[in-house]
């Protein structure tokens, strides 16, 4: 398995060479030369596997330059009941026949990003141990990416984490979760700006190839291909848990921001998993819903980005979306270059007039938007009807998922975070605070460790330089 760039400018590389970045030298994103196709016999054999064995089968299709026993060891260290709360790792909760929630948020930060990030931490450590290298991870977060990256990398030898977050824009819980980490290799940098300013700084630093090389800069943002691969596993796991046989189809509803989670679903479907629809849900920041309903991709400016009660989806441009467009164009890198030339100038592109817009149907993606009132209603409805408490992001997914639900097709809604992280909205919905899981009771009272910086790439470079 080799990887190429969505913009055509990278010679094919093995997994280990794209692991630490994900962004290609030509500005595109790493993507497999072709997707592995899973035979009916293989899919049948996978049905009975536990999470770890299934992860090994799937990962070894994408990672063929780590010896099998080593890869098994990495997976065994990552997906444990101690870290993820149960042997199933991603248990399926059935609300009623044909309506399920796939619990992806039982990791250390109570959000689904732990599933990919914990694997990444162990993959990075393994690779760095082999080469004796160091790595400085630079990331941008609007909430969950940052804390899951820090919890995955804390205390890991040879790794430092520099995590940018928009000052004062995350929930108190999310802020406390990150800033309370006292590990010496973790640096929290609060940026005077919004999430996209943080993301732009990461891009600017990554594009300074000299600095990047000298300081061994890597990223864990959702463009990292290994994160997508890790997330493919639970689409298979969820499918097997919700069906009796591989003749059945299911649909997934996915609360979306950077298009990372649903990109993994897209790849699972390309591999042959019987997925009818991938239902993409946005909040008020509806740039992706707009694209899938109109064919116009119009990234928003930072000013247009709304601060909502599902903050991990407050995104103005979707960094993984380029991978989908690459596939949509029939893997036409020149077309991707042309489209992203417009995007990078702050313009929109419009596929509504051409054949590409109709081709979206072949990929099974449908979409819808949610908003604050809808997510509060959904949290209340689900709680009253099923005595199950969901968080605001999962509520956006359920709202849109239910609108697209079809008779005879099981609907699996991705639970991307736990309600405990969003106490304010939960109280608004059901009149009392959610229970805190054990170990999180006094999180906000813990001492915090962070610095505040201007939204300026040079300022951030100087800070990194001082720590290395």
Ligand X SMILES: *Cc1c(COP(=O)(O)O)cnc(C)c1O
Catalytic residues: 113
Q: For ligand X, which stretch binds (CB under 6 A), given 91-99, 115-123, 208-216, 256-264? A: 256-264
Nearest approach, Cβ of 114 to ligand X (angstroms)?
Answer: 10
Spacing of C-alpha 10 from chain mean position: 24
Angle value at C-alpha 250, between 244 and 256, nearest 5 degrees: 140
- C-alpha dihedral sign at 129, 134, 138, 143: positive
User: Which string of x and - marks every residue 140-159 that binds ligand X (by CB under 6 A)?
Assistant: ----x---------------
Query: Looking at the chain, how many residues does it have?
Result: 468
Select the residue interacting with ligand X from 127, 175, 258, 283 (CB under 6 A): 258
Spacing of C-alpha 281 from chain mean position: 14
* Pair 188, 439: CB distance under 8 Å: no
Q: For ligand X, which stretch binds (CB under 6 A), given 190-198, 258-266, 332-340, 355-363? A: 258-266
| Pick 19 or 281: Cβ nearer ligand X | 281
Nearest approach, Cβ of 416 to ligand X (angstroms)?
Answer: 3
- Site residues for ligand X, 84-143, by CB under 6 A, read 111, 113
The pair of structure tokens assigned to 105 is 């948020």
| Pick 66 or 270: Cβ nearer ligand X | 270
Coil, strand or helix: which one is 36? Answer: coil
Nearest approach, Cβ of 261 to ligand X (angstroms)?
Answer: 4
Tell me: does residue 22 bind ligand X (CB under 6 A): no
If phi > 0 it is left, if psi is from -120 to 50 it is alpha, else beta; for residue 442 that is alpha
* Pair 196, 317: CB distance under 8 Å: yes
User: Which string of x and - marks every residue 304-343 that binds ligand X (by CB under 6 A)?
Assistant: --------xx------------------------------
Cα–Cα distance between 42 and 50 in angstroms, integer?
15
Nearest approach, Cβ of 56 to ligand X (angstroms)?
Answer: 23
| Pick 5 or 199: Cβ nearer ligand X | 199
Kindly report the number of other CB atoms within 10 A of residue 250's CB atom. Answer: 22
Round the CA-based radius of gyration of the chain to a whole number and report it. Answer: 21
| Pick 5 or 231: Cβ nearer ligand X | 231
Cα–Cα distance between 77 and 400 in angstroms, integer?
36
Cα–Cα nearest to 419, from 392, 444, 381: 392
| Pick 136 or 142: Cβ nearer ligand X | 142
3-state secondary structure 235-248: HHHHHHHHCCCCCC
Nearest approach, Cβ of 49 to ligand X (angstroms)?
Answer: 25
Nearest approach, Cβ of 40 to ligand X (angstroms)?
Answer: 29
| Pick 127 or 308: Cβ nearer ligand X | 308
Coil, strand or helix: which one is 5? Answer: strand
Select the residue interacting with ligand X from 193, 255, 369, 401 (CB under 6 A): 255
Cα–Cα distance between 39 and 45 in angstroms, integer?
10
User: Which string of x and - marks every residue 186-225 that binds ligand X (by CB under 6 A)?
Assistant: ------------------------------------x---
Binding site for ligand X (CB under 6 A): 111, 113, 144, 222, 255-261, 312-313, 393, 416-417
């Amino acid at each position: 398995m080799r990887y190429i760039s969505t913009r055509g400018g990278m010679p094919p590389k093995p997994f280990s060479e794209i692991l630490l970045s994900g962004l290609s030298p030509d500005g595109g994103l790493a993507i497999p030369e072709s997707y592995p196709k899973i035979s009916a016999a293989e899919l049948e054999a996978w049905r009975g596997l536990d999470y770890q064995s299934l992860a090994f089968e799937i990962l070894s299709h994408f990672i063929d330059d780590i010896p099998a026993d080593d890869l098994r060891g990495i997976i065994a260290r990552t997906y444990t009941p101690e870290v993820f709360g149960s042997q199933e790792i991603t248990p399926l909760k059935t609300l009623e026949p044909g309506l399920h929630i796939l619990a992806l948020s039982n990791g250390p930060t109570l959000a689904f990003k732990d599933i990919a990030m914990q694997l990444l931490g162990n993959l990075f450590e393994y690779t760095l141990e082999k080469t004796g290298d160091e790595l400085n991870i630079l990331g941008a977060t609007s909430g969950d990416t940052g804390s899951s990256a820090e919890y995955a990398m804390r205390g890991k030898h040879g790794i430092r984490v520099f995590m940018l977050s928009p000052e004062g824009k995350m929930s108190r819980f999310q802020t406390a979760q990150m800033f309370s980490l006292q590990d010496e290799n973790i640096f929290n940098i609060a940026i005077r700006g919004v999430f996209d300013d943080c993301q732009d700084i990461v891009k600017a630093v990554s594009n300074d190839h000299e600095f990047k090389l000298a300081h061994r800069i890597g990223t864990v943002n959702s463009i990292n291909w290994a994160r997508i691969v890790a997330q493919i596993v639970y689409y298979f796991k969820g499918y097997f848990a919700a069906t009796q046989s591989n003749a059945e189809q299911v649909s997934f509803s996915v609360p979306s921001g950077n298009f990372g989670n649903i990109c993994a679903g897209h790849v699972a479907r390309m591999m042959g998993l019987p997925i009818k629809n991938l239902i993409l849900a946005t909040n008020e920041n509806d740039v992706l819903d707009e694209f899938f309903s109109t064919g116009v991709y119009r990234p928003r400016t930072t000013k247009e980005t709304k601060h909502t009660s599902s903050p991990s989806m407050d995104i103005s441009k979707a960094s993984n979306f380029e991978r989908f467009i690459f596939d949509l164009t029939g893997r036409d890198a020149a077309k991707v270059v042309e489209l992203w030339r417009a995007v990078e100038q702050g313009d929109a592109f419009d596929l509504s007039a051409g054949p590409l817009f109709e081709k979206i149907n072949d990929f099974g993606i449908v979409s819808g938007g949610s908003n604050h009132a809808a997510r509060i209603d959904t949290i209340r409805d689900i709680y009253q009807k099923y005595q199950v408490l969901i968080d605001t992001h999962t509520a956006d997914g359920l709202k849109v998922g239910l609108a697209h639900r079809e008779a005879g097709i099981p609907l699996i809604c991705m639970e991307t975070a736990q309600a405990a992280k969003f106490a304010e909205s939960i109280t608004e919905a059901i009149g009392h605070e959610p229970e805190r899981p054990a170990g999180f009771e006094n999180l906000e009272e813990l001492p915090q460790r962070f610095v505040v910086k201007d939204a300026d790439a040079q300022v951030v470079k100087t800070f990194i330089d001082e720590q290395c």
